[in-house]
Chain A
Amino acid sequence: SYELTQPPSVSVSPGQTARITCSGDALPKQYAYWYLQKPGQAPVLVIYQDSERPSGIPERFSGSSSGTAVTLTISGVQAEDEADYYCQSADTSGTYQVFGGGTKLTVL
């Protein structure tokens, strides 16, 4: 079955830049999406189609794609950005959707 791989954790100090990567063989063919989830809450879409930002999402959130990896970048990290972040995409056929294992962002 298709898998997306993320680092389990990333730590940054406030004001620094956090980068979370997600790798998968089908990423050159399928868009990636990013969600943040805070404890006890539903996920929130923060990036769609690799690099687009939904309305209402702060400009410090950005996405990029290169080959079999996509990256979520949070510039000028704030304490409120501490959350679990998940990438999501589909297999090459577009039939099966998959989430990465999630990355816990800790703001030191």
Chain B
Amino acid sequence: EEQLVESGGGLVQPGGSLRLSCAASGFTFSIYNMNWVRQAPGKGLEWVSYISDSSSTIYYADSMKGRFTISRDNAKHSLYLQMNSLRDEDTAVYYCARVPNKGGMDVWGQGTTVTVSS
């Protein structure tokens, strides 16, 4: 079964840091581009960041630039999101999602919850 499992969420104070992980299984992780997507409580989906299969291409949503860093380790079948200078408005469920050649996002994790609060 193709599966993504996120971890690393939790409660953090404003200005703090957190590193999210996404473990892939059931498919060849190294040939897929990947996304992070988040969803604030009661709100819609928001794209966060994209990384290509070889890490050669990386994009961020404007509000995350300079604070978030996406990376991957294909040998470990894992995707990461380093989040620094966290703000209240970063409180959300964070999903990792697989990007197939046809585009879109066809496999999603169950999400990990990040709460930024003092």
Give the interface of A toward B (CB within 8 A). Answer: 1, 31, 33, 35, 37, 42-45, 48-49, 52, 54, 84, 86, 88, 95-102
The dominant DSSP class at the A interface is strand
Q: With contacts A43-B108, A48-B106 known, is A98 near B44, CB below 8 A?
A: no
- Asked whether, in the complex, the Cβ of A99 is within 8 Å of the Cβ of B35, the reply is no
- Asked whether, in the complex, the Cβ of A98 is within 8 Å of the Cβ of B47, the reply is yes
Chain B residue total in the interface (Cβ 8 A): 21
Once the chains are docked, how many angstroms separate the CA of A42 from the CA of B47?
Answer: 14
- Asked whether, in the complex, the Cβ of A45 is within 8 Å of the Cβ of B106, the reply is yes
Residues of A near B14 (CB, < 8 A) are none
- Asked whether, in the complex, the Cβ of B59 is within 8 Å of the Cβ of A33, the reply is no
Residues of B near A84 (CB, < 8 A) are 44
- Judged by a CB distance under 8 angstroms, whether B45 is at the interface is yes
Instruction: For the A-B complex with A96-B62, A102-B44 known, give 12 more contacts whose Cβ atoms are closer than 8 Å.
Output: A1-B62, A31-B103, A35-B45, A44-B108, A48-B102, A49-B102, A84-B44, A86-B45, A88-B47, A97-B47, A98-B47, A102-B45
